[in-house]
Amino acid sequence: MAEEQKGFRLSRRLLLGAAVVGGAVLWGGTTVARLARGPSGPKNAGRIADIDGIALPLKPIASPPAFDPSLPWSAKGGDINDASGLSMTPVYGVVEVSEEDHIAKALGFARANSLKVSLAAIRHSMGGHAFDDNALVLDLRKFNKVTVDAAAKTMTLQPGARWHDIQNLLHPHFAVKAMQSTDIFSVGGSLSVNAHGMDHQAGSVAGSIRSMRVMLADGSVTTCSPTENTDLFRHVVGGYGLFGVVLEATLDIVDNVVYRTSREIIKSDDFPKFFADVLEPNKEIGLFYGHLSTAPGNFLEDMIVYRYDKVADQPPADQPEIGEPGSVGLKRVIINMAKWGSLFQQLKWFTEKTLEPKFESCTVARTSAMAEGEACLVTRNNPMHDSVPYLFNDLMDETDILHEYFIPRAAYNPFIAEAREILRNQSLPVLNASVRIVHKEDVALTYAPEPAYSLVLYINQPTDADGNARMRTLTRALIDVTIKHGGRFFLPYQLHYTARELLASYPELPAFLAAKRQYDPTELFSSTFYRAIKALSGVV
C-alpha cells in the first residue's frame, strides 16, 4: 500500500512537472510567435490632444461641402493617423494624387470651399505633420515618377517616390547622395524635414537639390533652387509642407562605389576625438554609423563605430540586385524582448557587438576587391537599403517613438553625460541610440545653425494616458538639457514641448511664420503641427 502511495506521489509530481514544462514551452512558443509577428494593420491608439495645455482638436465643419466628383477621393471623411499611432485625426477627405492636375484641382476646390490642405505620403512624422482636423489631405504616394539623367548624374522625381524604390532603380551603377539611414520614407517627406543620414560628408538632403518645381497656394507654379528664388527654397526645404506642394525635384546622384566595411568599439567619450582624427580628415570613408549601447552596464558609454571605406568607384559588372533585410523575425523578437528590462537589453547588445558581424552580408565578391583579401565588401546601395521591417510589430498596446537632438560639437560629452542620467532614471525602454554627423544647415527653420552631432533615440511607450505622460516628461527633460548645451531638438516628432522650449530652440520661428503668411496669406496649407507651433509662438 505504501509503495502504491509513493508511486502515486511520484506520478503526480511527474505529471505536475510535465504540465509546468509543457506550459512553459507553450507560453514561450506563443510569446515568441507574438513578438516575431509583423503588423496586422495600422496602430490607432487615439490622440495626444494638447500641446503645452493648448487643446488641438477642432470642431467638425457644420456644413461640409459636397465632394467634387472629378477628384480621385480615396476617403470621404474618416480618420487618419501617423506612425506613432497616437495622432488619430478626423479629416474632410483624402485625394489620391497620381498626376499634377489632381493637385491643381484639389487646391482650387479647397480655396473655393474654405478648406485647409495637408500633404501626406508615408506619414512617419509623429505629431500630426501630414494632416489636420477637417483638412483635405493630398495622399502623394502614387505621385512617384522618377527619371534618371546618367550624363548629368541627376534624377528628377515626384514627391511620392520612396527611397527604397529609387535605390532599386539606380542600382547597380548609381546611388542616392543624401537621405535618411533607412529607406522607408518618401522624397517629399525627406525634403519637408531636410533629412540627413549615414553620409557624413554629403550632409542633409538640402545639399543634393539642384532645383524644385513648387505649386503655391494660389495654384501658380514656380521654380526654386539654391540660386533661384532662394528665399522660397529655404522655406520649402525643412518647411514641413507649409509653403507649397513640390511637384518635382531634381537631385544629385553619385556612383555606386564599393566599400570595405569595418567596425570597432570605442568609448562614447572618445567619439569627438575619433571624428576629428579619423572620420573628418579621411575622405575615403564614405558612410558612418555610430551605435551606442543601451545595455544597463554600459548605457550610452560604449559605441560601435561602423565605417565604410571606398575601395572601388564601381561594382563588378555582375553585381546582383540589392537584397532585402534578412532574419527579420529574429531581429523583431530581440528588439521586442529588449522592452522587458536589463537582461534582454544585455542580450540585444551582445548580439549587436558579437553575433551581427558573423552574419554580415558581403555583396561584392572578394575576387573583385582589388587585393582586399578577406575584407567584407558592399556597394553604397547595400547599407543604405534598409527598410527596417523588424521595427514594426503587432503589439497594439504600445508604440515606439523617435527623438533627435542636435548638439554643438564641442558640447557632445557633457550633453551625453547628462542625457545618460536622464534616460537611466526613467522607466521607458530605450531601444536604440545612435550618433550622426550634422553640418551647418542654411534653411529657414534650421536644426543646425552650426556644425553639430545628433543623438537619435528610439524609445518604447505604452499607448495609454500614463505612457503619454511619461513620454512627455522625458521629452521635456531631454529638450531642456539640449537647450542648456546650446542645441536644438528635431521637430518631426511628438508635440510634447513647451512654448518656452520651442522658442528657445528655434528663435527664428516668428520670422518663419511671418514668411508662411507672406507665401500663403489664407493659410491654405495647414497641419496639426502648424497650428501647434503657431499657438505656442503666440501668433494668432
In the predicted structure, residue 244 carries a pLDDT above the cut 80: yes
Residue range 507-525: mean pLDDT, rounded? 98
Only one residue has cell 514544462, namely 21
**What percent of the chain is predicted at pLDDT more than 90?**
88
pLDDT tens per residue, range 484-511: 999 999 999 999 999 999 999 999 999 9
In the predicted structure, residue 535 carries a pLDDT above the cut 50: yes
Q: Among 530, 486, 539, 534, which residue's Cα sits nearest to residue 130? A: 530
The full DSSP string for 140-162 is: -TT---EEEETTTTEEEE-TT-B
**What percent of the chain is predicted at pLDDT more than 70?**
93
pLDDT tens per residue, range 70-115: 999 999 999 999 999 999 999 999 999 999 999 999 999 999 999 9
Q: Among 33, 45, 7, which residue's Cα sits nearest to residue 399? A: 45
Nearest 5°: phi and psi at 286? -85, -35
Q: Can you give the pLDDT at residue 517?
A: 97
β-strand partners of 290: 305, 435
Confidence of residue 14 (pLDDT cuts 50, 70, 90): low
pLDDT tens per residue, range 322-333: 988 888 999 999
* pTM for the model: 0.93
Q: Are 280 and 272 in contact (CB under 8 A)?
A: no
In the predicted structure, residue 20 carries a pLDDT above the cut 70: no
In the predicted structure, residue 373 carries a pLDDT above the cut 80: no
Q: Cα separations (Å) of 535 from 57, 82, 128, 215, 243?
A: 13, 21, 15, 26, 18
Is the model more confident about 7 or about 300? 300
In the predicted structure, residue 1 carries a pLDDT above the cut 80: no
Q: Can you give the pLDDT at residue 31?
A: 87
Cα–Cα distance measured from residue 474 to residue 242, given in angstroms and rounded to the nearest whole number: 28
β-strand partners of 51: 54
Q: Among 379, 365, 361, which residue's Cα sits nearest to residue 255? A: 379
pLDDT tens per residue, range 271-288: 999 999 999 999 999 999
Q: Are 132 and 152 in contact (CB under 8 A)?
A: no
pLDDT tens per residue, range 27-73: 567 888 999 999 999 999 999 999 999 999 999 999 999 999 999 99
Quick count: other Cβ atoms within 10 Å of Cβ 179?
25
Q: Are 342 and 300 in contact (CB under 8 A)?
A: no
pLDDT tens per residue, range 206-243: 999 999 999 999 999 999 999 999 999 999 999 999 99
Residue range 8-12: mean pLDDT, rounded? 53
Confidence of residue 371 (pLDDT cuts 50, 70, 90): low
Residue range 504-525: mean pLDDT, rounded? 98
Q: Which H/E stretch holds residue 253?
A: strand 245-255
pLDDT tens per residue, range 166-209: 999 999 999 999 999 999 999 999 999 999 999 999 999 999 99
Average pLDDT score, the chain: 93
Cis peptide before 172, with omega less than 30 degrees from 0?
A: yes
